[in-house]
């Protein structure tokens, strides 16, 4: 079994791994690096060529992939895992794209999906699919911050490989069920040859708080809000469990939830279609610019205190709705003591930090009260990583989805569990391979 680090092995983003068994290869994820997209925001990435996108570090460089690619497997629908599919999958046109329902439906919504010839196959968690006589894949139910996240198990004659990128261990996830601990422990007792594991939050001690905690934080903040002032919440559009908590809390305080933004419509609309989410009956959801403008005008005229706005733009992205509101470009203008709740943390790269600073300053200068970090992470903290390690007890480990600091921190954690660097835990740079 030869594992090639294609992308995401020296950074947070553009995840892609190739696993070659005999002459056959399966690819896991085809992601983009969102911070690099923002650096090049003036360029339309759909117009950029593949090699240019790779050289700018936006998509993985798949020239290192060897073997006959038999499948492209996607473990969840975040863009740093699926955002490059419409650019890269063309080259492997006979390979089916395989994911859980929410993920495959998202792929079908991608702008250039029509240009792909690859068949798309939905695989539920708990099911095993035989790709070739030698390779079977299994999705194990896992929790993260987007519906239908799976942990991948690759079954081969040489042993099993587990791919846990991304995950958290959430026993009260608000939407969906807790991780399938029974199966995870069973896999551990059957024996795991190798585990590829994310490291994004391994530097944080303890356990990741449950999404249930975020629900309580949201409810508490909304309950204590000033009923006579405007109220805006911003969060990740794909964080459907959070959106459920926010809309329900809005109804509980007698405000009509109004969800606004292009990506809000994309993810929340799909969650409703796939019956993952049922918005309260009085909720509104608009994604098109004209519909958004009209809705904001109605809210301003009717009385902002009757509504709760749920908008895109928690990272301060210049083209997202909250930034536009802060620029006073729309009918809904911030008034003194209007409340803005960030149900998200700043993803720590310099661009986001700068954008968020600028956004918050503008809002504050217009008199807004700002409530930050009403949020819990979707990624495993250090002790969750320890728990997964104890349950699975893999022979070999390859940490991924992190910068050097995160990756080496995971190495130290594994060393505490008796693993030895370069004997049973390996660090790869993008483009490098290891045979296990
Ligand atoms: Zn993710």
3-state secondary structure 317-332: CCCCHHHHHHCCCCCC
pLDDT band (50, 70, 90) for residue 105? very high
Predicted confidence at residue 423, as pLDDT, reads 97
The stretch 12-25 carries a mean pLDDT of 96
Domain boundaries, the chain: 2-207+378-435, 211-371
Counting every residue, how long is the chain? 436
Question: Cα of 275 to ligand 1 centre, how many Å?
Answer: 21
Q: Which residue has the higher pLDDT, 429 or 43?
A: 429
pTM as predicted: 0.96
DSSP per-residue string spanning 378-424 = SS--HHHHHHHHHHH--SEEEEESB-HHHHHHHHHHHHHTT--BTTT
**Going by DSSP bridges, is the β-strand pair 231-235/194-198 parallel, antiparallel, or unpaired?**
unpaired
Beta pairing, strands 159-164 & 256-260: unpaired
- Residue 412 alpha carbon to ligand 1 centre in Å: 23
- Which homologous superfamily is 2-207+378-435 in? Ribonuclease Z/Hydroxyacylglutathione hydrolase-like (3.60.15.10)
Tell me how far the alpha carbon of residue 197 lies from the centroid of ligand 1, in angstroms: 12
The rounded distance, in Å, linking the Cα atoms of 50 and 235 is 31
Q: How far is the CA of 150 from the centre of ligand 1 (A)?
A: 11
Is CATH 3.40.50.10710 the right assignment for the domain spanning 211-371?
yes
203 Cα to the center of ligand 1, angstroms:
17
Kindly state the tokens that stand for 105. 């439906």
In degrees rounded to 5, what are phi and psi of residue 2?
-110, 120
Is a pLDDT exceeding 50 seen at residue 374?
yes
The percentage of residues in the chain with a pLDDT greater than 90, rounded to a whole number, is 91
- Choose among 326, 318, 314, 333: nearest CA to 371: 314
Separation of 82 CA from ligand 1 center, angstroms?
A: 10
Distance 144 CA to ligand 1 centre (A): 7
* Per-residue model confidence as pLDDT tens digits over 343-371: 999 887 788 899 999 999 999 999 999 99
Share of the chain above pLDDT 70, in %: 98
SS3 111: coil
Residue 344 CA to ligand 1 centre (angstroms): 14
Which are the contacts of 25, defined by CB distance < 8 A and separation ≥ 6?
Answer: 18, 19, 65, 66, 67, 68, 69, 70
pLDDT computed for residue 44 by the predictor: 64
Distance 81 CA to ligand 1 centre (A): 7
- Tens-place pLDDT, residues 396-427: 999 999 999 999 999 999 999 999 999 999 99
């Amino acid at each position: 079994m030869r594992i090639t680090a294609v992308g995401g092995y020296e950074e947070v983003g553009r995840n892609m791994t190739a696993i070659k068994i005999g002459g056959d290869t399966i690819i896991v994820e085809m992601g983009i690096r969102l911070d690099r997209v923002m650096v090049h925001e003036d360029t339309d990435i759909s117009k950029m060529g593949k090699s240019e996108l790779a050289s700018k570090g936006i998509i993985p460089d798949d020239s290192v992939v060897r073997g006959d690619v038999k499948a492209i497997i996607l473990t969840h629908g975040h863009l740093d895992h699926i955002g490059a599919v419409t650019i890269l999958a063309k080259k492997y046109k006979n390979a089916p794209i395989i994911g859980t329902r929410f993920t495959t439906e998202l792929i079908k919504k991608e702008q250039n999906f029509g240009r792909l010839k690859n068949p798309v196959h939905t695989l539920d968690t708990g099911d095993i699919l035989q790709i070739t006589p030698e390779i079977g894949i299994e999705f194990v139910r896992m929790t993260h911050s987007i519906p239908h996240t799976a942990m991948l198990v690759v079954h081969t004659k040489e042993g099993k490989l587990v791919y846990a990128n991304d995950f958290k261990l959430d026993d009260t996830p608000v939407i969906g069920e807790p991780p399938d601990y029974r199966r995870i422990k069973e896999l551990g007792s059957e024996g795991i040859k190798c585990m590829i594991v994310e490291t994004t939050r391994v530097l944080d001690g303890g356990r990741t708080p449950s999404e249930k905690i975020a629900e309580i934080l949201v409810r508490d903040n909304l309950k204590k809000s000033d009923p006579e002032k405007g109220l805006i919440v911003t969060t990740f559009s794909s964080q459907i469990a959070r959106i459920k908590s926010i809309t329900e809390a809005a109804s509980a305080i007698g405000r009509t939830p109004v969800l606004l933004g292009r990506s809000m419509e994309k993810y929340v609309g799909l969650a409703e279609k796939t019956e993952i989410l049922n918005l309260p009956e009085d909720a509104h959801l608009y994604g098109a610019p004209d519909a958004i403008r009209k809705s904001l005008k109605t809210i301003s005229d009717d009385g902002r205190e009757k509504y709760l706005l749920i908008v895109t733009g928690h990272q301060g992205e210049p083209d997202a709705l909250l930034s536009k509101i802060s620029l006073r470009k729309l009918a809904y203008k911030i008034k003194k003591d209007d409340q803005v709740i960030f149900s998200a943390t700043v993803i720590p790269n310099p661009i986001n930090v700068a954008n968020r600073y600028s956004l918050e300053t503008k809002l504050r200068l217009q008199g807004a009260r700002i409530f930050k970090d009403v949020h819990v992470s979707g990624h495993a903290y250090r002790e969750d990583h320890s728990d997964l390690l104890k349950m699975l007890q893999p022979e070999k480990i390859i940490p991924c989805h992190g910068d050097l600091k995160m990756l080496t921190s995971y190495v130290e954690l594994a060393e505490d569990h008796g693993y030895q660097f370069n004997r049973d835990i390996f660090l790869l740079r993008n483009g490098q391979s290891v045979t296990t």
